[in-house]
Amino acid sequence: MNLWKHALISIATMLTITSTAFAKPVELDGVAVIVNDGVILQSDIDNAIKTIKANANKNAQALPDNAALREQVIEKLTLDTLQEQEAKRIGVKIDDASLTEAIKEIAERNKQSVEQLTKSVQEEGLTYAEFREQIRKEMEISEARNALVRRRINIIPAEVDNMAKLLAKETNATVQYHISHIQLRYDDSNKAQVTEQAKKIVAQLKNGADFSQLAMSVSKGPKALEGGDWGWMRKEEMPTIFADQIQDQHKGDVIGPFTSGAGIHILKITDVKGLQSVAVTEVNARHILIKPSIILSDDGAKKELNDFIRQIKSGEATFGELAQQYSQDPGSAAQKGELGYQTPDMYVPEFKHQVETLPVGQISEPFKTVHGWHIVEVLDRRKVDKTDAAMKNKAYRILFNRKFNEEASAWLQELRAGAYVEVVKGDDSDS
């Protein structure tokens, strides 16, 4: 799966409450923010604020005052604009076929047909063409972010080995945490003041204050407009600064404040959920492959395989002998047709179905795959723990996911720090 598809999960999840964000714009009333060689219009800000307020009202969610909300919206739109500019700079383009497939996935995640999705979008005042272009823009941003952040990630073999050793000491079960985050920025002149502010926020949270509202009011973190919600994550997937702080905490616990190079942080464990065990069934099967050709039709291949079955059952020949002599899969033919122990997912769907459903010792009827015509026999099945065999792959994925999250946040901060951003129009009126 392409990495941009992970971004579509959040798009799809939020579609039913954010589709009003794409409402037809009001008459443009001027440039509100200059971002490098691009602009954010006042109407962009107004529409975003109206959408947030509508969604908050719909979900009975409290919001900060207009000034704080406007500041958060401008920051979010600024980051989006910077990422769009990066996508354009490196030439990211999403073709129509990929876009159509992505929209199908969004509809499926919302348990809708594309026609139903189109209708719901139109009911919010957005044409289907406008909706497609908005999704295209989101995909281009995601592609650019993935491409540029990947370049920053360097994983050396020693890191993988060390992580694999740590994983080897753990069970196959991994706790997942639903975490929320507040980040405050400081410099040398105000560190003490911001630290004191963070302590007061922690005290408020422990006295029952709403984390989401506080995050939207004061956080400078990447999820501020989502109420600081980072969703469900395993420790291995979290930024290191989060994972290092989570030890034996439980649901509802507030962690912090603690400091990193990016600022002062406060975490809340919104929820925790269970342990996941890994059990894999491996199948040892053997097969004979006959490929149709100009001189051998499908019927001819099927007839030849049926004759092999007759010979095996009558004792005229063994499966292994026929595989060695006739199978057109050279790798397995040399092993008397044996494929060795594999998980069924390794095979094409038709072959996978056969090895999953055939009783041990029974030969299948001839069946066709993209490779040709087969007969297959399941020799054995076994349950195995794949953790040890896959440990280094898992260690690499963990390191990559962790570093990707860290580098993505750093990349965004660098984009923001290096950008020319000028707020040229303010509007603190109630939208």
Helix axes 128-150, 66-89, angle to 10 degrees: 70
Q: Which domain holds residue 111?
A: 4-151
**221 has a pLDDT exceeding 50:** yes
Classify residue 408: in a domain, yes or no: no
Between CA 250 and CA 234 the distance in angstroms is 14
Asked if residue 367 lies in contact with residue 354, where contact means CB atoms within 8 angstroms, the answer is yes
* Predicted pLDDT of residue 248: 63
364 and 254 within one domain: no
Q: Where are the alpha helices (DSSP H) in 219-316?
A: 240-243, 298-314
143 and 249 within one domain: no
User: Which position has the higher pLDDT, 173 or 157?
Assistant: 157
> Would you state the structure tokens that stand for residue 194, as one six-digit string?
């911001």
> Would you state the structure tokens that stand for residue 157, as one six-digit string?
């073999």
- Please report, for the domain that includes residue 201, its CATH number: 3.10.50.40
Between CA 83 and CA 412 the distance in angstroms is 8
* Residue type at position 188: D
Q: Where are the alpha helices (DSSP H) in 271-348?
A: 298-314, 319-326, 330-333
327 and 364 within one domain: yes
193 and 63 within one domain: no
358 and 302 within one domain: yes
The conformational region for residue 397 under phi > 0 = left, psi -120 to 50 = alpha, else beta, is alpha
In sequence order, the 6+-apart residues with CB closer than 8 A to the CB of 38 are 81, 84, 85
Residue-wise pLDDT for 266-308, tens only, equals 999 998 886 444 567 899 999 999 999 999 999 999 999 999 9
Q: Where are the alpha helices (DSSP H) in 207-271?
A: 211-218, 240-243
Residue-wise pLDDT for 330-366, tens only, equals 999 999 999 999 989 889 999 999 999 999 999 999 9
Which residue from 60, 122, 44 is spatially nearest to 427, judged by alpha carbons?
A: 44
Classify residue 345: in a domain, yes or no: yes
* Predicted pLDDT of residue 341: 92
Classify residue 412: in a domain, yes or no: no
Classify residue 414: in a domain, yes or no: no
% of the chain surpassing 70 pLDDT = 86
Point out the domain boundary residue: 220, 250, 274: 274
Classify residue 191: in a domain, yes or no: yes
Classify residue 422: in a domain, yes or no: no
60 and 191 within one domain: no
How many of the other CB atoms lie within 10 Å of CB of 205? 19
Classify residue 239: in a domain, yes or no: yes
**188 has a pLDDT exceeding 80:** yes
**13 has a pLDDT exceeding 50:** no
Point out the domain boundary residue: 347, 362, 384: 384
How many of the other CB atoms lie within 10 Å of CB of 426? 13
How many Å is the Cα radius of gyration of the chain? Answer: 28
* Residue type at position 394: K
264 and 135 within one domain: no
133 and 38 within one domain: yes
Q: How many domains does the chain have?
A: 3
- Please report, for the domain that includes residue 134, its CATH number: 1.10.4030.10
Classify residue 424: in a domain, yes or no: no
110 and 59 within one domain: yes
122 and 88 within one domain: yes
What would the mean pLDDT of 396-415 be, rounded to a whole number?
A: 91
> Which range has the top average pLDDT, 40-54, 121-135, 365-379?
365-379
32 and 138 within one domain: yes
Which residue from 111, 108, 107, 144 is spatially nearest to 128, judged by alpha carbons?
A: 107
145 and 51 within one domain: yes
The conformational region for residue 302 under phi > 0 = left, psi -120 to 50 = alpha, else beta, is alpha
Asked if residue 328 lies in contact with residue 372, where contact means CB atoms within 8 angstroms, the answer is yes
The DSSP letter of residue 295 is S
**115 has a pLDDT exceeding 60:** yes
